[in-house]
Structure 1
Amino acid sequence: MTEMFPDHVELEVEKRRGRILIVDDQPLMIRVIHQIFADEHELFMATSGEQALEFCQNNLPDLVLLDVVMPGMDGLETCRRLKKDERTASIPVIFVTGQTTEEEENECWDAGCVDFVNKPVNARTLLKRVRSHLTLKFQSDLLRRLAMLDGLTKLANRRYFDQFLSQEWRRCKRAGKPLSLVLLDIDHFKSYNDSLGHQQGDDSLRMVASAIARKAHRPADLAARYGGEEFAVILPETDLPGAVNIGEQIEQSVRELQIEHPSSPVCNVLTVSIGVASMVPVESSNPELLIKVADQHLYLAKNRGRGQVCAEDNTSS
Structure 2
Amino acid sequence: MNNKATHKADILVVEDQLDNLKLLSNILWDEGYQVRQAIDGEMALIAIDTKYPDLILLDIKIPRLDGYQLCQTLKAKETTANIPVIFLSAFDELWEKVKAFEMGAVDYITKPYQAPEVLARVENQVKLSLLQKQLKAHNNILQRQLDLTEAAQEFHGQPQIDAYLLHQAIKATYNGIIITDATQSDNPIIYVNPGFERMTGYSLEEVKGKNCRFLQGNDRNQPEILYMKTCLQEHRQCFITIRNYRKDGSMFWNEVSLSPVKDESGKLVYYIGVQTDVTVRKRVEEERQRYEASVQKMNQELHELNTKLHRLANLDGLTEVANRRCFDDCLEQEWRRLSREEKPISLILGDIDYFKRFNDTYGHLQGDDCLKQVAKALSKGVHRPADLVARFGGEEFAVLLPNTPAFGAMQVAQKILEEIRQLQIPHKASQAKPYVTMSLGVATVIPSLDLPPKTLIDTADGYLFQAKNQGRDRAIDGDSP
Q: TM-score, normalised by structure 2?
A: 0.43
* Residues 160-194 of structure 1: CA deviation (Å, up to 9, x unaligned): 21122112111221222221111000011111111
Over 3 Å counting, the alpha-carbon distance change for 1:90 and 1:143 in structure 2 is farther
Q: Determine which of 311, 331, 334 is the counterpart of 1:165.
A: 331
Residue in structure 1 matched with residue 400 of structure 2 by the alignment: 234
Residue in structure 1 matched with residue 3 of structure 2 by the alignment: 69
Q: Determine which of 250, 262, 272 is the counterpart of 2:428.
A: 262
**Per-residue deviation, 1:223:** 0.9
**Per-residue deviation, 1:146:** 0.3
Which structure has the greater CA radius of gyration? 2
- What is the alpha-carbon distance in structure 1 between the residues aligned to residue 333 and residue 421 of structure 2? 32
- What is the alpha-carbon distance in structure 2 between the residues aligned to residue 242 and residue 90 of structure 1? 39
- What is the alpha-carbon distance in structure 2 between the residues aligned to residue 311 and residue 192 of structure 1? 27
Higher relative contact order (CA 8 A, sep 6+): 1
**Per-residue deviation, 1:158:** 1.4
Q: Determine which of 300, 306, 314 is the counterpart of 1:148.
A: 314
Q: Secondary structure at the match of 2:436?
A: coil
CA contact (8 A) 2:336 2:449 kept: no
Q: Secondary structure at the match of 2:310?
A: helix
Q: Secondary structure at the match of 2:397?
A: strand
Q: Secondary structure at the match of 1:268?
A: coil
CA contact (8 A) 1:262 1:269 kept: yes
Residue in structure 2 matched with residue 277 of structure 1 by the alignment: 443
Q: Which amino acid aligns with 2:418?
A: Q
Q: Secondary structure at the match of 2:442?
A: strand
- What is the alpha-carbon distance in structure 2 between the residues aligned to residue 177 and residue 90 of structure 1? 32
Over 3 Å counting, the alpha-carbon distance change for 1:129 and 1:200 in structure 2 is same
* Residues 258-285 of structure 1: CA deviation (Å, up to 9, x unaligned): 0011121111111000011111111222
Q: Secondary structure at the match of 1:180?
A: strand
Residue in structure 2 matched with residue 201 of structure 1 by the alignment: 367
CA contact (8 A) 2:347 2:457 kept: yes
Most deviating of 127-136 and 204-213? 127-136
Residue in structure 1 matched with residue 303 of structure 2 by the alignment: 137
Q: Secondary structure at the match of 2:346?
A: strand
Q: Secondary structure at the match of 1:294?
A: helix
Over 3 Å counting, the alpha-carbon distance change for 1:191 and 1:173 in structure 2 is same
Most deviating of 292-301 and 192-201? 192-201
Residue in structure 2 matched with residue 57 of structure 1 by the alignment: none
CA contact (8 A) 1:148 1:160 kept: yes
Equivalences for residues 1-317 of structure 1 within 5 A: 69-70=3-4, 92=26, 93-94=28-29, 95-96=33-34, 100=54, 110-111=118-119, 131-314=297-480
CA contact (8 A) 2:387 2:402 kept: yes
Over 3 Å counting, the alpha-carbon distance change for 1:100 and 1:226 in structure 2 is closer
* Residues 119-160 of structure 1: CA deviation (Å, up to 9, x unaligned): xxxx96987665543432222121011011212111111122
- What is the alpha-carbon distance in structure 2 between the residues aligned to residue 243 and residue 152 of structure 1? 26
Over 3 Å counting, the alpha-carbon distance change for 1:304 and 1:90 in structure 2 is farther
Over 3 Å counting, the alpha-carbon distance change for 1:218 and 1:132 in structure 2 is farther
- What is the alpha-carbon distance in structure 1 between the residues aligned to residue 337 and residue 394 of structure 2? 29
- What is the alpha-carbon distance in structure 1 between the residues aligned to residue 421 and residue 24 of structure 2? 40
Runs of 4+ in structure 1 deviating by more than 4 angstroms, as ranges, are 88-91, 99-107, 123-132
- What is the alpha-carbon distance in structure 1 between the residues aligned to residue 327 and residue 480 of structure 2? 26
- What is the alpha-carbon distance in structure 2 between the residues aligned to residue 302 and residue 190 of structure 1? 15
- What is the alpha-carbon distance in structure 1 between the residues aligned to residue 455 and residue 382 of structure 2? 22
CA contact (8 A) 1:168 1:236 kept: yes
CA contact (8 A) 2:424 2:435 kept: yes
Over 3 Å counting, the alpha-carbon distance change for 1:141 and 1:304 in structure 2 is same
Over 3 Å counting, the alpha-carbon distance change for 1:229 and 1:146 in structure 2 is same
- What is the alpha-carbon distance in structure 1 between the residues aligned to residue 326 and residue 351 of structure 2? 19
The alignment covers a number of residue pairs equal to: 229
CA contact (8 A) 2:380 2:419 kept: no
Where in structure 2 are there 5+ consecutive unaligned residues? Answer: 9-21, 36-52, 56-81, 87-106, 110-117, 131-287
RMSD across aligned positions (CA)? 3.4
CA contact (8 A) 1:297 1:313 kept: no
- What is the alpha-carbon distance in structure 1 between the residues aligned to residue 304 and residue 357 of structure 2? 43
**Per-residue deviation, 1:217:** 2.9
Over 3 Å counting, the alpha-carbon distance change for 1:307 and 1:75 in structure 2 is farther
